Structure 1
């Protein structure tokens, strides 16, 4: 079965039991709210899922992590929805040999891993 791949929210979930959206963003901070807005629009087709806020929070954390800690120029977000199941993947093209970058103010900021892990532990069926 060939799966449709979309970068816009034009396909209603009621008409497509398995839908994949993919979009690339530049690896800059402004891409975090842009990725959230895009994901919110594609996931709201046919009515937003009850877990939309959790998905958008996790997406923000993971996109921020990819931008902050990689040398990649692009970040790709892929969202797969089958019925009531949503899978979100965030990838970057950073080198596997590049050392992880840490911001000078990183100690004063909250830890993204704690947010991702906290939502996963709530029993939402979300895998970090």
Structure 2
């Protein structure tokens, strides 16, 4: 497992931090714990608990749905974009398999992206710069302008 904090929290930096996690269930609480530790130095105004919830959902999806013929990892990165916070989760797989579902009340699965859609200001999926799938969410008022 690798953790990176890119710069001093007082400096302007688009990427605030990153972590690389093994694709196992234990990576979900690790991601929450380390994200909270690293993001707190930047004193975001948005709800860190909301961010942790969304991060948990995306890392869980990455672990459950990521596919590769060889060894692979889940990458998490977070960025400051003006007053917004963007959090990305990367995993191998096909971006076209990522879709927002509206499950019936009796369905046991399919609510993670619905939760991300409900709590975040926006979210995105596509091909990452690593040639993998990326799913990200954005909190627009994370810092004063």
TM-score (norm 1): 0.70
Count residues with an aligned counterpart: 109
Q: Kindly state the Cα deviation for residue 85 of structure 1 after the two structures are TM-superposed.
A: 1.6
Query: CA offsets, 1:29-73, max 9 Å, x none?
Result: 000010111111111004343321111111110110011012243
2-structure distance, mates of 1:49, 1:76: 24
Q: Kindly state the Cα deviation for residue 110 of structure 1 after the two structures are TM-superposed.
A: 6.0
Instruction: Answer yes or no: is the 8 Å Cα contact 2:5–2:38 preserved in 1.
Output: yes
Any gaps of 5 or more consecutive residues in structure 1?
Answer: 1-5, 101-106
TM-score (norm 2): 0.63
RMSD of the TM alignment (CA)? 2.7
> Whose strand proportion is higher, 1 or 2?
2
Q: How does 1:44-83 map to 2 (within 5 A)?
A: 44-72=40-68, 73-82=72-81
1-structure distance, mates of 2:40, 2:117: 24
Corresponding residue for 2:113? 113
1-structure distance, mates of 2:81, 2:13: 4
